[in-house]
Amino acid sequence: MNKRETLVTSEPVVGRSLPHESAHLHVSGAAPYTDDLPEPAGTLHAALGLSPIAHGKLLGIDVERIRKMPGVVAVFTAADIAGENNCGPLLHDDPILASDELRYVGQPVFAVIATDRELARRAASLAKQVIQAEPLPPVLTALEAHAAGQYVLPPMHLTRGEPAEQLAAAPHRLRGTWSLGGQEQFYLEGQISLALPQEGGDGVLVHCSTQHPSEMQQLVAHALGWQAHRVVVQCRRMGGGFGGKESQSAVFACVAAIAALKLKKPVKLRVDRDDDFLITGRRHGFDYRWDVGFDADGRVLAVDIDLIANAGHSADLSAPVMARALCHFDNAYWLPHVAMHGYCARTNTQSNTAFRGFGGPQGAIAVEMILDGIARRLGVDAAEVRQRNFYAPGRDVTPYGQQVEELHAQPLTAQLLASSRYADRRAEITAFNAGSRVLKKGLAFTPVKFGISFNVAHLNQAGALVHVYTDGSVLVNHGGTEMGQGLNTKVAQVVAHELGLPLSSVRCSATDTSKVANTSATAASTGSDLNGKAAQDAARKIKLRLAALAAERFGCAVELIAFEGGQVSGGGQSVAFCELVAAAYLKRVQLWSDGFYATPGLHWDRTKLQGHPFYYFAWGGAVCEAVVDTLTGESRITRADLLHDVGTSLNPAIDIGQIEGGFIQGMGWLTMEELVWHPVTGLLTTHAPSTYKIPTANDCPTELTVELFGVANASETIHRSKAVGEPPLLLGFAALLAIKDACAACGPTRCDPPLRAPATAEAVLDAIDAVR
């Protein structure tokens, strides 16, 4: 081992469990979010007046009555929008403020601007009294819309082989229907935008809690009737996003900007939690119908399945969500003959949008429910049935035509089942259930295969700027946004590693559309993959310039120059990095650079739903144990063993934290987070923490073990790492199926409890009653 390898190994920057760059600010309450920014003198506050009905024609608004309210400065309606009245990201079918049609309870109809936030909210609360409308019958469920053929975009169909013929010839058939609820993002920091007019009204700066600053820039510009270069959007950090701030931060950014430019004053729009629930969409709920053929060993021969998503009143991101759902129905399994039909139903509810996993969980969980049903009918352990269906050599092409190059399912599963003592615990639980009348236990294993990349190829690009200052410190600006996931920490680690510096020498600045242009959303788990590569590209350009100067100084070849430990060495000589940088400045060597990265090898035919949409797959597995009280329906996950594939981790501590958080969020979606709309009025009745329950620390399994699979990514990613944002959420499948397994212990052998999701106490009791 040479000296360079020794230094890099003993003092690594990449691959170390270094603290989150803002951790000390988070725990002390000192991290400034958008609402913490100092308000300029004269800042006004906005609130939104919301539709009181689910569907109807908008006849008029008594604006004068609102203007007479205390503190009100102005009231704006759709007629006051100079540019395009749209905040929809793809089809431009979602108005900022309703103009002629009311589409759901909670739709923004007008904006009130007042001297104080509370006064603005009080005036906006007059909406029920000042909005004149002609009610029309609403469509409130996806199945109702599907029956009427009412969709936000044409249905999608993905077929391979001869599913109809193979179903007819299959020795066993399984038909079923199932319902899966949506999920509120419940980011701790709510939706907020602060708009400040610039330079005599010729521009606007918008501080926005958003995952997609470039899209906010474009939508604000369109709403103002401006070109994009007059709008700057900044975001230093978010208190969570989970997809809910990818497209749906737009209405708040647009309203704040419109009001600020019309009134020539700063305007802040921060909604409270109830209004946030009522205005914005969330994870799409799905309904399923399937027909499956299988053999005596439980191997799937053919599947025909309908996936019906509740898209809400507009398209938003429903098209790519459904495409990803269809591309993840296979999960970790070889499906030789398959026909999938995706329907995005138009309903009079909030427009559903991105949520961690972006349709992937809704697609993959369907095949897990199917395999669980097959195992129960055959009387075979579900873990064995799953393994028989895994992708394997010669059975390694997905229904959409992409070869699965890393076949990690079987070795990962073997490791997890052994470390979790799956077989022994299965026997222990069977014995426990035989002697327990009230409490029943369940056990389940589920795998994960999750495709990484935006399934729209052109979005897989990123840019970055790296500035080296004359004292040797480094500032990085990239197109990703920090929402607590540790993106800035990982990118800083990449740059520090490249330049041979300690992490303390590198800092990431706020995301800013005036620095890195035309950025993609921080979504699809691509934040580190894309922005890390772009920052590395920029750092390497500077490094090459400095290496040339060092080689000249040391009288050696450039190839011998090494950057490590804050020193630059070569030819038996060395110099401090900061000293070399100062010399480079005097020599007029460029000390800043841009970087760019585009993921290679991606292609996708959105019409045929065929191609190579994902750069690679992330794998994982979970074993969960649950206990159910058969008298009350209450359930608890008592133990979870998680094994997840993050390639060669950039930061193991951050990755483990993401795995833990993703699992708990997935568990919450499937076990307790229930959305309920009033069946007549269409009001979302679960619009506050008092009625919508997310998991807390008390819901965490008593025993939670997380391990990293530890195999380098075969694809050439940043330091051979893998994305970790979304895939772990699918580990929560095992929690639902463990509860289902406990319910099955209440019935006869080979029974299949019809447990719906979320598995609330009521759902559990219904499932138990069905098998008894």
Structure token pair of residue 82: 């100079």
Give CA–CA dist 721/648, Å, rounded: 4
Question: Does 118 participate in catalysis according to the annotation?
Answer: no
Structure token pair of residue 649: 């981790």
Non-local (6+) Cβ contacts of 448 within 8 A are: 331, 332, 364, 618, 619, 620, 621, 622, 644, 727, 728, 730, 731, 733
DSSP string, 566-620: TEEEETTEEEEHHHHHHHHHHTT---EEEEEEE-TT-EEETTTTEEE--SEEEEE
| H/E element, 622 | strand 616-629
Query: Token pair 């691959």 is at which residue?
Result: 15
Q: Which of 368, 406, 625, 726 is catalytic?
A: 726
Structure token pair of residue 286: 């799905």
DSSP string, 665-680: HHHHHHHT----B-TT
Structure token pair of residue 573: 């000589």
Q: DSSP 3-state assignment of 9?
A: helix
Structure token pair of residue 721: 């790492």
Q: DSSP 3-state assignment of 53?
A: coil
Q: Are 266 and 303 in contact (CB under 8 A)?
A: no
Give CA–CA dist 521/208, Å, rounded: 14
Sign of the torsion angle spanned by Cα atoms 738, 743, 748, 752 = negative
Chain-centroid distance of CA 195 in Å reads 26
Phi, psi of 195 (to 5 degrees): -110, 130
Q: Are 342 and 311 in contact (CB under 8 A)?
A: no
Query: What is the DSSP secondary structure assignment for residue 565, as one 8-state letter?
Result: T
What's the chain's Rg over C-alpha atoms? 27
HEC secondary structure over 583-596: HHHHCCCCCEEEEE
Q: How far is CA 144 from CA 103, 124, 181, 710, in A?
A: 16, 32, 15, 47
Give CA–CA dist 112/396, Å, rounded: 57
Please give the torsion angle defined by the CA atoms of residues 656, 662, 664 and 666, in that order, rounded to the nearest 10 degrees.
-150
Q: Closest Cα partner for 520 from 604, 599, 619? A: 599
Give CA–CA dist 382/444, Å, rounded: 8
155-179 in b/e form (b: 16+ CB < 10 A) is ebebbbeebeebbeebeeebebebb
Q: 194 has which bridge partners? A: 207, 268
Residue type, 59: L
Catalytically active residues, by annotation: 726
